[in-house]
Structure 1
Amino acid sequence: MSSVAPATGGITTNVDKVPGGGGPKVPNGRFSINLRQSGIYIAFAVIILVFAVATDGALLDRQNISNIIIQNSYILVLAIGMILIIIAGHIDLSVGSVVAATGALAAVLTVNMDVPWPLAIIITLVAGAAIGAWQGYWVAYFGIPAFIVTLAGMLLFRALSMKVLNNQGVGPFPAEIQTIANGFTPGWLGNIALGPLGGADLITLIIGVVACAGMVIAQYRTRLARLGYQQAVEPIAVFVLRNVLAIAVIMTIVVQLARFNNLPWVLVLLAALVLIYTLVANRTVFGRHVYAIGGNLQAASLSGVKVKKVTFWLFVNMGVLAAVAGIIFAGRLTIATPTAGNQFELDAIAAAFIGGAAVQGGVGKVVGAITGGLIMATINNGMSLLGAEPSEVLLVKGGVLLGAVAFDVWAKRRAGTAAR
């Protein structure tokens, strides 16, 4: 049996046969980086390094790191849903307007109607699901292209938010919702008092260590599974080095957060969403069907995939996540406004494509979309620290987006030429 190219991971190597067998291959000797799979993470590291040097370390200041997460959390939530939509070969241009409409609904419920905030959140999420179902029906069962349906949705739900709010802001939100958007976890176990970690929240450090351990265990299990299926894997030395570097980056951020004001609640929510949706995309039948639809729609249909049903639920999911983003954004501002969410759809789409999604569909990862969103956030923050004009920020962000898509196209053409 011939070897199978690795499906994920960023390292490719020269390979030798497994001792005692003729089929499976394991790496041996020199290695090279697969830029198409790992380029986004390398680019992120370079961008952080460049801005850290240019700002004399201000980018990595503990308060600034916390601000980056809080100020961009709603875009990252939208990016999680958007990457799944794009993997399936669709697009959603309405999410910014849905953010405004759901934020407006939450404001009216909690401020004007005195609905208890937990019930108001549930109603808002259900409303987001209903919006997603409305759009999903036209796309999946009526056959109208998602571009047209969601373009119409962009106008309809923006008008709805204006109508609900009567063209004026409504607030302030209850303190509990503001805490979800802007607050931090309490120091349940106190702070470390000695050494370089003095003043760091202990529970935040424990969560960081557990997260790193979980990441390493998951990747090691994936490595064992590939070996079991006779797929090529990276040398153990490269595996260890890659994980050590990842742990160093994660723990640096965690320590800075622990020394500032503990974990932001939105980061806890975001981490939970990333974990859940990564498992859905990689470990469930639904996730495999999403990739199958985006990779080859006709083949997926012939294989028994219920394309219409999967597409419908993707848009329902996008509506729910837009409602989550709407609550977070309105809670952060403490007020809902008719202009909320303006151009959020562009930022979410850019995050997905910068994070490795393919224009044709069938390719992309939740973690990649989050990384793409963080790249945009870092550029925004870094250039703001440098005193750049808004036009200059837009110029750089546009160039990064174009470069990411151009690189994806180039990589596909290069792979196709190599295959021939």
Structure 2
Amino acid sequence: MMRTRPLKVALLGCGVVGSEVARIMTTHADDLAARIGAPVELAGVAVRRPDKVRAGVPAELITTDATALVKRGDIDVVVEVIGGVEPARTLIKTAFEHGASVVSANKALLAQDGAGLYAAAEEHGKDLYYEAAVAGAIPLIRPLRESLAGDKINRVMGIVNGTTNFILDKMDTTGAGYQEALDEATALGYAEADPTADVEGYDAAAKAAILAGIAFHTRVRLDDVYREGMTEVTAADFASAKRMGCTIKLLAICERAADGESVTARVHPAMIPLSHPLASVREAYNAVFVEAEAAGRLMFYGPGAGGSPTASAVLGDLVAVCRNRLNEATGPGESAYTQLPVSSMGEVVTRYHISLDVADKPGVLAQVATVFAEHGVSIDTVRQTGKDGEASLVVVTHRAPDAALSGTVEALRKLDTVRGVASIMRVEGE
């Protein structure tokens, strides 16, 4: 039996994602009603610019007063796609206070204050769903929160930003420089006019915080995530990667320590073997590799951004929240029972690729090897090329703590025979 009174939905934001959510709610209304067990009705749309034409959205639903919309009292679900920390946080908490559950795509807010939002939702007995906050249309949050809830996840590693993957893919496959690849990404609409959030890793770091919190049942905030951008990656780095049978990706990596007593979360460019599933992720696609004790290795792959893919994730959450509403139930809330500390980047253990510009004369390699040995970093391979008194020395290490590597690099810079440290890149996925 279908309930006749519609569930009312308030939409905060009607940009690329919001307008697509409104369109799908309208064009697929009958299907959504059948899947939910009740009609869903778009009851109001809060925007900043009310004069902008929004195809398919009735003018009478448009308002600039988002606070009044979420305070109405007859709203069942608030869909928040405006982004940013404020006023989104205040609006979401106000929605809970006035009886609405919330579907959000706001990675920045969740990474900064997910605990506060969860607490507000629990206090008022409402749902907080956010599948669209990470990896667009890829079903990822729900599998981590629900399907793998009985398993122990040890590692989550992935490509969670389509813009950076497009840029690095073009540099790899066409030989383009960073700026040339960025210009192409901008022209195609993959990169914003100001691409800082993407290329400097801020977007991926927010997503890493969310993924780590869910995977390890502990609170991880944006400030806990180590971050490096990919603007310094060069054609020479790709040439070195190819010689090692690798490519370069900007990775979000969340790990449980070997002793299980702490976790780490980081974002940085890394070389990964061509045999690794993430190496074949091309263009603006996303993919996340999950390692769990019982399930083993799983990979989630698909379009990670854009209006339609993100709207798909939002609508999936909307259906789930509406079903809960009809059943007078709520879905999973925050799971942070482990309260594991987040370790610093210095404690992360991995391999490194270091490229040095050195003097081409006897004894240089011995000096460099001594520095590595003094800092407890074992060398795996060395490649040296030289001409006219100058040389390039590429060292690939065995696994070592990041702090030991940092100390090694500082010592190398002080050697008279080292002209400069051309690049340092981690090697992952082996």
Q: TM-score range by the shorter chain?
A: under 0.3
Choose between structure 1 and 2: higher helix proportion.
Answer: 1
Choose between structure 1 and 2: higher strand proportion.
Answer: 2
The TM-score, its normalising length taken from structure 1, stands at: 0.26
The TM-score, its normalising length taken from structure 2, stands at: 0.26
Which structure carries more relative contact order (alpha carbon 8 Å, separation 6+)? Answer: 1
